Structure 1
Amino acid sequence: MQGTVDGFTYGLVTPLVAYLMACLGGALGLRCTTRSMLVARSWRAGWLALGSAAIGSGIWTMHFIAMMGFTVKEAPVHYDKPTTFASLGVAIVMVGVGIFIVGYRGATGTALFTGGTLTGLGVASMHYLGMAGMRLNGKLEYNTLTVSASVVIAVAAATTALWAAGQVRGFLWSVGASLVMGLAVSGMHYTGMAALSVHLHGSTSTPGGDSPAALLAPMMIGPLVFLCLAGVVVMFDPMMVMGKPDWRPAEKRPGIPAHPVVPHTRRPSPRPWRNRGHRGSRAPQSW
């Protein structure tokens, strides 16, 4: 029997809050990725790891905030905690691989294509693994064409976001990129949800138990706290907030040498003709 699916139980509240969370995670991740390109190589891995965790946590939180508004009219929906948290791990790891490629190879050419593809696949994998953690008296089925469209959206969004992070520009540039990334990630989520249909087993029953919001809210406390802490780290780094006209390292700016050359000043040679005993007069010359 076909189940009646409703993805907007709370109206526009869950889509808007989910979009804001995607933007927050994207903004923090992109700023960390940009910062990694401006520090010494020994610090780069730390910033990239923080950016990967921020983007992965933001996307995961966005997904399950949106899922708070998802219900099946004829059956209660529950979530398997190990699978749900496994989707968070997949998001962080796969996004991290893509970000590390771009962080060390640059946001151009093959590195950008590879990193964007892996990051986008990580976003899509998180979505569908999180959906696999749903437990209800029925079976989930997906439309293949719509699923493919959602994966393409995820890859395109990730590639665009990593390209924007690699431009190493000011704060407003990253804010704009994160807004676009949040829109694309949310679009990927709801495109994937549009591909879903639920086939119930047996007779219908009245939903009972806790609501999806009550089930999912406790699981999101950890990622939300992490995003807040990541935001504090970013805010207290002056180079992350107060942008400069030119963010490129000195060695990459045209006309500025990597190591400034200090002109050699020649020491004046002592004057053999100066007479120390008589200031300002010459010593007598011998012929």
Structure 2
Amino acid sequence: MSMQIDYNWLLVLLSYAVSVLGSFTALQLAVAIPLAETQRQKTAAVAMAGGAMGLGAIWSMHFIAMLACDNGMEVRYDPSLTALSALVAFAACASGLMLVGHGRFGRLRLLAAGTCMGLGVASMHYIGMAAMLMAAETHYDFNKVVASIAIAIAASMAALWLAFNLRGPVQMIGSALVMGVAVCGMHYTGMAAASFEDNGGQLPDGYAEGLRGDNLGLTIFVIVATLLVLMLLLHYWRYRYRSRISI
């Protein structure tokens, strides 16, 4: 029998908020990628923007939203798979930004980078789902899985286009709000593809060592939001410092 899923709406809202903040931070930091004068500067810019997007806007949103999901039983998370999902999210976003930011911006390059990034984001989601430790089995609706992957690719292409074509703060805020909807749309479509069936109370190996959800969602939000704000402040400080030097 499939289990009923409810959501903690505070965590749902926080997952959207961190996705918007991460997207805005990534868009701000991505400005430095095409302006980089050396390969070292470009790599650093890609790493910063990729971290803000992959770990802030996407992985943190995903994990907080996972913690918001309540299927009626205690769920813990495999630490190794959870860490792997975060690494995949960072690598996917950094790779997408590097592909688009290297050479002339064009549709084919955007398509390739967006597909690479989208597949990575979708992989992150389903690795994160596999990290769930509970007395239940997870089954997937193939059509909804495909839909979630398509949304991930489309959202990735939109994120990459925005990162290299927007400059004004007002446009970036609006784009970040839209990106938050796109990222959340991918996640909750992926969640809708899953159904959970009670396996009779058989707990998986490693359950006792799994990460617990008590206040974990709020803790992750506070930590990630603080780091993103610090990244923004550092970015603005560096921008003003370089502007003074160039005068």
TM-score w.r.t. the length of structure 1 is: 0.74
Tell me which residue corresponds to 1:207: none
Q: Does the Cα contact within 8 Å between 1:158 and 1:181 map onto a contact in 2?
A: no
Larger RCO, structure (CA 8 Å, separation 6 or more): 2
Aligned residue type for 1:231: L
State how far apart, in whole Å, the 2-side matches of 1:215 and 1:176 are. Answer: 29
Q: Does the Cα contact within 8 Å between 1:108 and 1:163 map onto a contact in 2?
A: no
Tell me which residue corresponds to 2:55: 57
Q: Spell out, residue by residue over 1:244-267, the C-alpha distance to the aligned partner (whole angstroms, 9 max, x if none).
A: xxxxxxxxxxxxxxxxxxxxxxxx
Q: Does the Cα contact within 8 Å between 1:121 and 1:151 map onto a contact in 2?
A: yes
How far is the alpha carbon of 1:65 from its aligned partner? 1.5
State how far apart, in whole Å, the 2-side matches of 1:134 and 1:161 are. Answer: 28
Q: Does the Cα contact within 8 Å between 1:97 and 1:119 map onto a contact in 2?
A: yes
State how far apart, in whole Å, the 2-side matches of 1:217 and 1:22 are. Answer: 14
Matches within 5 A, 1:170-209: 170-202=168-200
Q: Spell out, residue by residue over 1:60-110, the C-alpha distance to the aligned partner (whole angstroms, 9 max, x if none).
A: 11112112221121x321111111111000100111111100111343222
Q: Are residues 1:5 and 2:5 paired?
A: yes
Q: Does the Cα contact within 8 Å between 1:48 and 1:99 map onto a contact in 2?
A: yes
Tell me which residue corresponds to 2:75: 77
Tell me which residue corresponds to 2:27: 30
Tell me which residue corresponds to 2:89: 91
Query: For the structure 1 residues 213 and 119, does the alpha-carbon distance in structure 2 shift closer, same or farther, using more than 3 Å as the test?
Result: farther
Matches within 5 A, 1:1-287: 1-6=1-6, 8=7, 10-11=8-9, 13-42=10-39, 43-58=41-56, 59-73=58-72, 75-202=73-200, 212-216=213-217, 223-238=224-239
State how far apart, in whole Å, the 1-side matches of 2:89 and 2:201 are. Answer: 36
Aligned residue type for 1:32: L
**In the comparison of the two structures, how many residue pairs are matched?**
234
CA RMSD of aligned residues (A): 2.7
How far is the alpha carbon of 1:221 from its aligned partner? 6.8
Q: Does the Cα contact within 8 Å between 1:105 and 1:111 map onto a contact in 2?
A: no
Query: Between the two proteins, what is the percent identity of the paired residues?
Result: 35
User: Aligned to 2:138, what secondary structure does the other structure show?
Assistant: strand
Aligned residue type for 1:3: M
Aligned residue type for 2:17: L
State how far apart, in whole Å, the 2-side matches of 1:221 and 1:81 are. Answer: 20
Q: Spell out, residue by residue over 1:126-155, the C-alpha distance to the aligned partner (whole angstroms, 9 max, x if none).
A: 111111100001111110101111111111
How far is the alpha carbon of 1:197 from its aligned partner? 0.2
User: Aligned to 1:68, what secondary structure does the other structure show?
Assistant: helix
Aligned residue type for 2:94: G
Aligned residue type for 1:83: L
User: Aligned to 1:199, what secondary structure does the other structure show?
Assistant: strand
Alignment gaps of 5+ in structure 1: 205-209, 243-287
Aligned residue type for 1:114: A
Q: Does the Cα contact within 8 Å between 2:136 and 2:196 map onto a contact in 1?
A: yes
Over alpha carbons, which structure has the higher Rg? Answer: 1
